[in-house]
Chain A
Amino acid sequence: GAVVSQHPSRVICKSGTSVKIECRSLDFQATTMFWYRQFPKQSLMLMATSNEGSKATYEQGVEKDKFLINHASLTLSTLTVTSAHPEDSSFYICSAKNAGLAGGKRDTQYFGPGTRLTVL
Chain B
Amino acid sequence: GDSVTQMEGPVTLSEEAFLTINCTYTATGYPSLFWYVQYPGEGLQLLLKATKADDKGSNKGFEATYRKETTSFHLEKGSVQVSDSAVYFCALTTTPNAGGTSYGKLTFGQGTILTVHP
Binding site for B on A (CB under 8 A): 4, 32, 34, 36, 41-46, 49, 93, 95, 97, 105-114
Q: Point out the residues of chain A lying under 8 angstroms from B107, CB to CB.
A: 46
Extra inter-chain contacts (16) besides given A46-B107, A110-B43, CB under 8 Å: A32-B104, A43-B109, A43-B110, A44-B106, A45-B108, A46-B106, A49-B105, A93-B44, A95-B43, A95-B106, A107-B103, A108-B103, A109-B103, A109-B106, A111-B36, A111-B43
Distance in angstroms from B105 CB to nearest chain A CB is: 6
Binding site for A on B (CB under 8 A): 4, 36, 38, 41-46, 89, 101-111
Q: What is the predominant secondary structure among interface residues of chain A facing chain B?
A: strand
Given A43-B110, A95-B44, A113-B41: A107 in contact with B105 (beta carbons within 8 A): no
Given A43-B4, A43-B108: A109 in contact with B46 (beta carbons within 8 A): yes
Interface Cβ pair total, 8 Å cutoff: 52
Distance in angstroms from B49 CB to nearest chain A CB is: 10
Distance in angstroms from B77 CB to nearest chain A CB is: 21
Complex CA–CA separation, A43 to B3 (angstroms) = 10
Q: What is the predominant secondary structure among interface residues of chain B facing chain A?
A: loop
User: Are the CB atoms of B43 and A42 closer together than 8 Å?
Assistant: no
Nearest CB to that of A32 among chain B residues? B104
Query: Which listed residue, A44, A112, A113, A114, touches B108 by the CB 8 Å rule?
Result: A44
Q: Point out the residues of chain A lying under 8 angstroms from B108, CB to CB.
A: 36, 43-45
Nearest CB to that of A6 among chain B residues? B43
Complex CA–CA separation, A75 to B41 (angstroms) = 22
Distance in angstroms from B14 CB to nearest chain A CB is: 24
Complex CA–CA separation, A111 to B107 (angstroms) = 14
Complex CA–CA separation, A45 to B106 (angstroms) = 9
Q: Point out the residues of chain B lying under 8 angstroms from A42, CB to CB.
A: 110
Complex CA–CA separation, A45 to B89 (angstroms) = 12
Nearest CB to that of B105 among chain A residues? A46
Distance in angstroms from B3 CB to nearest chain A CB is: 9
Among B36, B44, B105, which residue has the most Cβ atoms of chain A within 10 A?
B44
Q: Point out the residues of chain A lying under 8 angstroms from B101, CB to CB.
A: 105-108
Q: Point out the residues of chain A lying under 8 angstroms from B41, CB to CB.
A: 113
